[in-house]
Structure 1
Amino acid sequence: MPTSPSDPAQPFRSAEPSRSTRPSDAAEPAAPAVAGPVGVVDLAVVGAGPAGLAAAVTAAGLGLRVALLDAGDRPGGQFYRHPAPGLGAARPEALHHGWAAFATREAALRAHESAGRITHLAGHHVWTVVPSAGAPTAEWTLHAVAGHAPEERAAAVTARAVLIATGAYERQLPFPGWTLPGVVGAGGAQAMLKGGLVLPGKRVVVAGSGPLLLAVAGSLAAAGAAVPAVVEAGAYTAYAGRVPALLRNPGKLVEAAGYGGALARHHVRLLTRHAVTEAHGTGRVEAVTVARLDRDWRPLSGTARRIPCDALAVGHGLVPQLELATGLGCATRQAPDGTVALVLDAEQRTSVPGIWSAGETGGIGGAQLAMIEGELAAHSVAGALPGGRLARLTRRRARLRAFADAMAAAHRPGEGWTGWLRDDAVVCRCEEVPAGRIREAADDLGARDARTVKLLTRAGMGWCQGRMCGPAVAALAGQEPAADRRPLSCPVPLRHLAERPSAER
């Protein structure tokens, strides 16, 4: 992605190259260890974000032997991103909310690693989980691709229980011009700032829907970007029917007030019930068209205006990443924001015995809720649920989940958003499939679901496998979003498939 040629994030850097404030940042991450002599562990945790990290250290503290597998080189997931050590970040915590909670758990991870209670397998992309063949008791084998091309290797871990904490990715609703350079995801803009200390541009419009927009706009403005507007498609009046959930979470209200204060200090205008309906530019984005929406998110005639910018950070919330869970047959449900999430019981169990899940996979709720769910899942796996602390965790989870559901319902996309899609607007970026071709498949060729549209148009057949365009394709086909069910959750070299035991094929 193009970045600003200047260095507006300088306040977060030290005056000269120096060590990071944390000892583990002093050197570049080592090459990922490959699972070998790990043996059978009690619990394998997939994902080292807030939920997975909390689950792993809690389970180890309860006496379980744990393997923590994560695609990243360092723990933290998408939320707690680390600046590269060579950037000399003086205060990485300045770009994060709730850094102390993460730092405490990361320190516990290092301690459990040293004691041999946790094996942290960084750089491991788990692509399938299958029952172990010939095991005397119920066990699972997790297959992963370790390292990076062209030197990636096959790896496998066997566990008696599995906790899936794979997090989420951004939901994008396409519009004309969204493929222009300079148009990035809202979360992507945050990741650029947290991980690379760079901005997507000097003048950045933030748009879409959901509370993430306020955090992104505040961070970009604090790092030196001009943010002419936050364009929110929803309306905060939608929270009016959820007052009890709001009052039970005063900390969240204080957090929201802090974001509002940051926008006011940086003179950022908040436009509610508005959307970016088109991006304009040649070599990169130069301006966006913003229009007012009706209650169903249909653009209102005569309300369009242009806002000059050199970058657009846009996103409409998050989508739970469920491929591993649905590949196992775990039951799903529709969340209040219209996405598909896992069905979980009070102890974070999925519908498949031996498989637990925590964090965004059970419905988008944020890092604080994810950590609590990770702890609860670990206690459940260890069989240590009774006790006062568990009761407190359960109450906190219920309180935070109620708030998350209120947010999800308030910012759920309205059905009319497809009204800003001209027929020539690209929907599937990978295969360059325009909206008109998808509408033709649905209206003239009889396609009634995203799978049939894919077969007729190739929408969703590209590198991202429909993660970016899936919700849009389903909406244009007149279908509610459905859970993806696929045998591989990420690209896998063919030689790794050939090396699997025949009993697993």
Structure 2
Amino acid sequence: MNEHTNLLIIGAGPAGLAAALAAAPRAARIVLLDDNPLPGGQIWRDGPQAKLPNQAHRLREQVLACANVHWHSGTRVIANAGPNSLLVENAERGWQIHYERLILCTGARELLLPFPGWTLPGVTGAGGLQALIKGGMPVRDERIVIAGSGPLLLASAATAKANGARVLRIAEQASLAAVSGFAAQLPRWPHKLLQSFSLFDRQYRSASHVLAALGTDRLEGVRLQQHGQVVEIACDRLACGFGLIPNIQLGQALGCAVEQQALAVDAWQATSQPGVYAAGECTGFGGSERALVEGAIAGLSATGNRQAAQRLWRRRARWHAFARALNTAFALDPALKSLATADTLVCRCEDVPYAALAGHSDWRQAKLASRCGMGACQGRVCGAATTHLFGWQPSAPRPPFSPARIDTLLHLESDT
């Protein structure tokens, strides 16, 4: 049976939760859906070994207490089913949701760059390691190296140490000058300054990046370039992430304009498509504080409360300034584009090496010639990698956006 709602919110991270709470007083019916079992998104991911901040618990309880907010957990968007309608699916069924207004809070994912050995068992993303630990994966007494760029490295290390792991090294590719310059600005955001003290780790090294993961059948060690010298460290796990990139695929499929690899929005968080808003990290990475205020503005704007939304502009500007400082300090060194060798796999799903891609001029040509991006992840990993390596822009996804059951897809035909 199809579902109808005044406001549909895709994604229940900080932005989605804030949007639902802000919209609740004016919307007769709000549907909030996410593919995770509990609200919180990636940054507030719940699980057996997760320790959520009080703010996350409080916001989730407030939203779920609203009688007009209907929560769908473990639910994915499968296709655009026509004007103001999406086909969705959970573990039990598929159905269409018809909406009057839509807010995209689809978040971000890690940028994973290929390097020799990155497909070995024991190598994950930095955020991936954090999610696995929160989900219950034991890491007690394991030797872990964390590499890449951005504050997520420190957060991942803190989660690993809290669960008994031995973090041997945190390798940050940004220079000492860049990291120090960013740290010097943190007093402008006192909460972030206090947070940095709690996350500091004596194994942190700037101007350091991964060269290769070492091992035959699984990870045995890592080779790093550290301050111009090559060092090797024996370890059980390597977590390597080079920052975050916005999840824009659904927005692209709906025709929303993209700017600097993020969904473009105006002052009201409205996209280029009428009735479609976007908030949080799908509009650019900047932390949970930025996501919360953008979500609130989107929720207020979508329900016509522009006066209240405008009162939040100053707070949003403050966190946009933090995002600019963050992204400037941790901009990726161009040298990271040369990590992959000719035989390094770029597309893990279809076993496509770097050499098979280097001679092509764009994403479409490479995809047709090599099947890059045509595997299970549908280009979510290799598409972002090739954007960084070659400057290619993957085209908007075609439905189904995720693997789906036949009976779910039949809803499209029956509606027609």
Same fold per TM (> 0.5)? yes
Distance 2:393 2:329 in 1: 18
Find out whether 1:170 has 2:110 as its counterpart: yes
Matched with 1:28 is none
SS at match of 1:129: strand
Matched with 2:220 is 286
Q: How many residues align?
A: 416
Matched with 1:498 is 410
Tell me which amino acid in the other structure corresponds to 1:427.
Answer: V
Matched with 1:20 is none
Contact 2:150 2:330 in 1 (8 A): yes
Contact 1:192 1:199 in 2 (8 A): no
Tell me which amino acid in the other structure corresponds to 1:110.
Answer: L
Matched with 1:396 is 315
Q: Aligned in 2, Cα 1:110/1:243: closer, same or farther, shift over 3 Å?
A: closer
Find out whether 1:431 has 2:365 as its counterpart: no
Q: 1:326 offset after TM fit, Å?
A: 0.4
Distance 1:200 1:492 in 2: 37
Matched with 2:400 is 488
Matched with 1:105 is 59
1:110-149 pair list within 5 angstroms: 110-112=64-66, 115=67, 117-132=68-83, 140-147=84-91
Q: Aligned in 2, Cα 1:480/1:414: closer, same or farther, shift over 3 Å?
A: farther
Flag as ranges the 4+ runs of structure 1 deviating above 4 A.
239-247, 480-483, 501-504
Matched with 1:27 is none
Of the three residues 307, 311, 332, the one matched with 2:237 is 311
Distance 2:337 2:27 in 1: 52
Matched with 1:277 is 211
Tell me which amino acid in the other structure corresponds to 1:395.
Answer: R
Q: 1:248 offset after TM fit, Å?
A: 3.0
Of the three residues 30, 37, 41, the one matched with 1:66 is 30
Tell me which amino acid in the other structure corresponds to 2:139.
Answer: L
Tell me which amino acid in the other structure corresponds to 2:411.
Answer: E
Find out whether 1:326 has 2:245 as its counterpart: no
Distance 2:361 2:332 in 1: 20
1:12-411 pair list within 5 angstroms: 36=1, 38=3, 40-84=4-48, 92-93=50-51, 96=52, 99-112=53-66, 115=67, 117-132=68-83, 140-147=84-91, 152-196=92-136, 198-199=138-139, 202-238=142-178, 246-260=186-200, 263-264=201-202, 269-292=203-226, 303-334=229-260, 340-387=261-308, 390-411=309-330
Q: 1:393 offset after TM fit, Å?
A: 2.4
Q: 1:341 offset after TM fit, Å?
A: 0.3
Tell me which amino acid in the other structure corresponds to 1:343.
Answer: A
Write the deviation string for residues 340-386 of structure 1: whole angstroms up to 9, x where unpaired.
Answer: 10111111100101101111110011222111111111110111121
Could you tell me which runs of 5 or more consecutive residues in structure 2 were left unpaired when the two chains were aligned.
none
Tell me which amino acid in the other structure corresponds to 2:408.
Answer: H
SS at match of 2:312: helix
TM-score (norm 2): 0.93
Contact 2:111 2:245 in 1 (8 A): yes
- Range moving further from structure 2, 191-200 or 213-222: 191-200
Q: Aligned in 2, Cα 1:221/1:200: closer, same or farther, shift over 3 Å?
A: closer
Distance 2:185 2:274 in 1: 32
- Range moving further from structure 2, 391-400 or 164-173: 391-400
Tell me which amino acid in the other structure corresponds to 2:377.
Answer: C
TM-score (norm 1): 0.77
Matched with 1:135 is none
Give RMSD over aligned pairs: 2.3
Q: Aligned in 2, Cα 1:236/1:489: closer, same or farther, shift over 3 Å?
A: farther
Q: 1:490 offset after TM fit, Å?
A: 1.4
Tell me which amino acid in the other structure corresponds to 2:385.
Answer: A
Q: 1:240 offset after TM fit, Å?
A: 6.9
Distance 2:155 2:182 in 1: 22
Distance 2:350 2:2 in 1: 42
Distance 2:61 2:40 in 1: 12
SS at match of 1:175: coil
Tell me which amino acid in the other structure corresponds to 1:70.
Answer: D
Of the three residues 452, 456, 461, the one matched with 2:365 is 452
Distance 1:453 1:70 in 2: 32
Contact 2:108 2:244 in 1 (8 A): yes
Which of these two proteins has the greater Rg computed from alpha carbons? 1
Contact 2:245 2:285 in 1 (8 A): yes
Q: 1:239 offset after TM fit, Å?
A: 5.7
SS at match of 1:463: coil
Contact 1:182 1:200 in 2 (8 A): no
1:455-474 pair list within 5 angstroms: 455-474=368-387
Q: 1:209 offset after TM fit, Å?
A: 0.7
Contact 2:19 2:296 in 1 (8 A): yes
Could you tell me which runs of 5 or more consecutive residues in structure 1 were left unpaired when the two chains were aligned.
1-35, 133-139, 294-299, 335-339
Write the deviation string for residues 416-461 of structure 1: whole angstroms up to 9, x where unpaired.
Answer: 213222212111111111112222xx1xxxx211221121122221
Q: Aligned in 2, Cα 1:329/1:82: closer, same or farther, shift over 3 Å?
A: same
